Structure 1
């Protein structure tokens, strides 16, 4: 299933993805929120173990299942050429699997080939001036950089072209992305 109107915004933690998604939504573009923060909050409230600092494999699987489900639900709901923006894609789960050196990735790799976003993916680079840790975001700076690099490698291995979003104000980042999408510079 190829959804060329589905655009992924990805990168390491704390680089401004959610702020950017919120800006795109404010401009009336449909968005699909990030799964990770919701999953972490849910697991903590339930006393669950599927957390990146407890059971990384279970966390990876739940994150993948929910992210892929979000893709499938969006495919049913948003048809045609309307741009839909995702705060991370299910391929981020594959990148996370590589990051934690999981040996159980065949089903993730199969999904990465079967279900396709737009061929151009927007990646937000590490930005130390805006990075902050919080209850759900516990990574140190080295982990932020390593996560970014793994995202780059995984998306490229999956056949996507990465477009780096500059470190500028949120509204300017949104303008940059929309210019790429609307002018056809995010190539198919």
Structure 2
């Protein structure tokens, strides 16, 4: 089973791409932070990234690990795409100048992702703010740079997504998967192999 991360600064088109991959038949996991923000706002909670980022980061870590573990127990899904991974939390904490507890690094070891990370670059023409996206475009760009640095420092390889329509991005990802796993054929998100996958 290969667990791929879609990452990037806010408003770079990740969620739209994730939905398109889901429509194409791939197993996907939604971004935990957006759901957590909605839950905290509905509950009148203060564990929000713009109020108490350390508290929010712990919540996000717990949810991401739970999502990962739930996905790992479901057979027949050779490829899963996650909207953000645990290293994203580390990058956000670093940007804020906050300490990163050892639990975050331990979680990455316990929840191994594919080393290739699809990174959505800043894209100003599609950038909009909403109730869960409060950053300016300049802040989103700075977060993108921090994400790239963080993932690379943790041994991941960045695969930049093209600034292109979502259908072209899906095709780009499918071509990347074919290059990574030449012995397998991908059809609507389902892999048919003559031998087991070997993932790095």
Superposition TM-score tier, normalisation by shorter sequence: over 0.9
Aligned match of 1:23: 20
Matched residue, 1:113: 109
Partner of 1:72 in structure 2?
A: 69
Question: Residue 132 of structure 2 aligns with which residue?
Answer: 136
For residue 166 of structure 1, give the secondary structure of its aligned residue in structure 2: coil
1-structure distance, mates of 2:111, 2:39: 27
Q: Tell me if the contact between 2:9 and 2:144 (Cα under 8 Å) persists in the aligned partners.
A: yes
**Partner Cα distance (2:74, 2:87) in 1:** 20
Q: Distance in 1 between matches of 2:165 and 2:105?
A: 34
TM (norm. structure 1) is 0.92
**More off after superposition, 45-54 vs 97-106:** 97-106
- The gaps in structure 2 that reach 5 residues or longer are 183-198
Answer whether contact 1:92 1:151 (CA < 8 A) is retained.
yes
Note the aligned Cα RMSD (angstroms).
1.7
Alignment-derived partner of residue 42 in structure 1: 39
> How many corresponding residue pairs?
184
Distance 1:78 1:101 in 2: 40
Which structure has the highest strand share of the two? Answer: 2
Determine the C-alpha separation between the residues in 1 that align with 2:181 and 2:145.
Answer: 24
Q: Which runs of 5+ in 1 are unaligned?
A: none
SS in structure 2 of the partner of residue 77 of structure 1: coil
**Which structure 1 residue ranges, 4+ long, deviate > 4 Å from structure 2?**
none
